[in-house]
Amino acid sequence: MDGKTNEKIERKTKRKTKGGILMGAMDPASTVVGFVGTGVMGASMARHVMRAGYAVRVYNRSRSKAEALLAEGATWDDTAGSLAASSAVVITMVGYPADVEAVYFAPEGILASAKPGTYLVDMTTSSPELASRIARAARERGLHALDAPVSGGDRGAREGTLSIMVGGEAEDLETLRPLLGTMGKQVVLQGPAGSGQHTKMANQIAIAAGMIGVCEALAYAQRASLDPDTVLQSIAGGAAGSWTLSNLAPRMLAGDFRPGFYVKHFIKDMNIALESAAALGLSTPGLALARELYGQLAEAGGEEQGTQALFRLFSDRRA
């Protein structure tokens, strides 16, 4: 029996499943997961991984944002590189593409420090082109890389019900599916490296235009002297129903603009989507309008608020 045959048998043995869960590939009891980025989304996501039995190491630029996880049993690392060197899987959930590039490509960053065979999963909403660059650099170093941005907001992160959009190799995803499944209820492979990010751009384009519609609808209800909460009861369950209408519209009406997803980060996402659409030769007027309106909101001091704060422009405005 030749070496290639042995390798195939070993791979199949490692990938036997029981009830749809991979057995022996990523045993929580013996797998260390490093988590870079413990903000509004990342902290909840890391907590689900911990509760599934994985040993979790964390790094964040502000240690204070990781204190709750440390109190629950996570281990602190002083740098992303030291975390990567000690982890079998490294998950990143940071703010901007520049942050992703820094933690991965710095001289002592994740790519330079991770041991061959390590799995790298960037769950930040970032650039498709950057995701492809990370995947190429990872392959050159004997590492496995997936881009896996998420949708579902702070509530989805807390409840472990995120939608996870994956770009990369199918075999790598199957190895990590049980781990990713602790954070999301839907984990879908979209294609090769960068495809997860492209899918997230489609998601953000849909949200951007939809957010304008929700704000206009509620403003119209107010102007027509209707009870907006009662209106919401009717339209949220009909053809107009959407995640934004059900989850963010009540916050709008309550004047609750605390961030589940920051305006500043949504603007970042829309900028990436506009650039990617332009590169594809696609016109996106709805996206362009949403970006303009969110820019106005940010200039008015709303960049640290949640995306539902767009309603301020409509409820405060008079024709």
Read off the pLDDT of residues 195-229 as tens digits, 9 standing for 90 and up.
999 999 999 999 999 999 999 999 999 999 999 99
Model confidence at 12: pLDDT above 80? no
State the Cα–Cα distance between residues 227 and 175, nearest whole angstrom.
51
Model confidence at 71: pLDDT above 60? yes
Paired residues of 56 in beta bridges: 33
Strand 119-122 and strand 89-92: the pairing is parallel
Give percent of the chain above pLDDT 90.
87
Alpha helices in the chain (DSSP H): 3-14, 42-51, 67-71, 80-85, 97-105, 110-113, 128-140, 153-159, 170-180, 195-223, 228-235, 243-247, 249-254, 263-279, 285-297, 311-315
Model confidence at 170: pLDDT above 70? yes
Given the residues 4, 12, 200, 268, select the one marked as catalytic: 200
State the Cα–Cα distance between residues 212 and 33, nearest whole angstrom.
39
Cα angle 254, 256, 257 (rounded to 5 degrees) comes to: 140
Return the half-sphere exposure (C-beta side, CA atoms, 13 A cut-off) of residue 97.
Answer: 18
Q: What is the pTM of this model?
A: 0.87
Rg (CA), the chain: 21
Q: What burial class does residue 212 get, using C-beta atoms within 10 Å of its C-beta: 0-12 exposed, 13-18 middle, 19+ buried?
A: middle
Q: Is 8 a catalytic residue?
A: no
How remote is the C-alpha of 36 from its chain's centroid?
13
Q: What burial class does residue 95 get, using C-beta atoms within 10 Å of its C-beta: 0-12 exposed, 13-18 middle, 19+ buried?
A: middle
User: Tokens 């999301």 label which residue?
Assistant: 184
User: Tokens 């019900």 label which residue?
Assistant: 161
- The 10s digit of each residue's pLDDT in 44-66 is 999 999 999 999 999 999 999 99
Give the count of beta carbons closer than 10 Å to the beta carbon of residue 232: 21
| Closest C-alpha among 69, 68, 65 to residue 57 | 69
- The 10s digit of each residue's pLDDT in 177-196 is 999 999 999 999 999 999 99
CA separation, residue 39 to residues 3, 219, 305 (Å):
46, 32, 14
